Amino acid sequence: FLIHSSFILFCDYFGFHKLFNSSSTLFSLRKMKFFLCILALQQLYVLSVAQDFDFFYFVVQWPGAYCDSRHSCCYPKTGKPAADFGIHGLWPNYKTGGWPQNCNPDSTFDELRVSDLMSNLRREWPTLSCPSNDGVHFWTHEWEKHGTCAESELDQHDYFEAGLKLKQKANLLHALTNAGIKPDDKFYEIKDIERAIKEAIGFAPGIECNKDSSHNSQLYQIYLCVDTSASNFINCPVMPHGRCDSRVQFPKF
């Protein structure tokens, strides 16, 4: 804030003040300097926003619950994904409960930067949105809305690689099936799901549910909190607001 204020005062005095108190021979030069100063201020603001977050939500979703809803789903062009949790995103957040977004409009998704990760992204970070597509639109959205707000910690390649590593590290389907909680259309106590995940990774998860066409509460998304390096699971500074019944269905896929 102090940097921003000082910079604004600098631009104001050396730009705006002199812009209208200069001879005609210096007017164009000072006008150019003033607007360059404003552009530099905008870039400084973007950088400071990108650095200002406290933790990540690492979010995975169960494809059976995504598809078994009124929105339905479309399989990717590569075919039906595996019956496993798919990555939804890696989202910078504040301890106050808010979050930054769209922090750097100049930082666009570039397939070439993640070309070595593409096969893993298609498998572990698939899209089920309609119409059927190759996932690029989904990854573009995740990077430009969320990833750009973590550029002080992770470049584009590191961001997507971190998500892939976190999914492997959590191995949530294995944790649940080991506890006897399987995607078999049966209903399970939400507290048992939370306990199984906490025992596996050491930290309590956030759980989000949705409703199927029969209005059954389904296990939909799992939120894990991660430090700002996107390497380690941590206790959640604030839990997401996910509504679930005390017993939820774990639908087949």
d(C-alpha 77, C-alpha 122), whole Å: 10
146 is catalytic: yes
Angle at 220 between CA 232 and CA 166, to 5 degrees: 20
pLDDT of amino acid 24: 54
Distance CA 221, CA 209 (A): 7
The per-residue DSSP string of 40-64 comes to HHHHHHHHHHHH---EEEEEEE-HH
CA 73 to chain centroid: 21
pLDDT (tens, 9 = 90+) of the chain, 253 residues, equals 434 444 444 444 444 444 444 455 454 545 555 455 545 444 444 444 445 899 999 999 999 999 998 778 999 999 999 999 999 999 999 999 999 999 999 999 999 999 999 999 999 999 999 999 999 999 999 999 999 999 999 999 999 999 999 999 999 999 999 999 999 999 999 999 999 999 999 999 999 999 998 999 999 999 999 999 999 999 999 999 888 999 999 999 9
* Residue 37, H or E segment: helix 24-51
Taken as a whole, the chain contains a residue count of 253
Annotated catalytic, 137? no
DSSP structural state of residue 233: B
Four-residue CA torsion sign, 16, 21, 26, 28: positive
Nearest to 181 by CA among 202, 203, 196: 196
Structure tokens given for 218? 């389904």
Q: Which of 124, 142, 153, 208 is catalytic?
A: 142
Q: So what's the pLDDT on residue 72?
A: 83
Instruction: Give the torsion sign (CA, 138, 141, 146, 148).
Output: positive
The model carries a pTM of 0.81
Q: What residues have CB less than 8 Å from 198, skipping those under 6 apart?
A: 204, 205
Q: Which of 4, 17, 71, 88 is catalytic?
A: 88
For the question of residue 142 being annotated catalytic, the response is yes
Give the pLDDT confidence score for residue 233 in this predicted structure. Answer: 98
At residue 47, the pLDDT reads 45
**From 124, 144, 146, 208, active-site residue:** 146
> Residue 46: CB partners within 8 Å, gap ≥ 6?
103, 104, 106
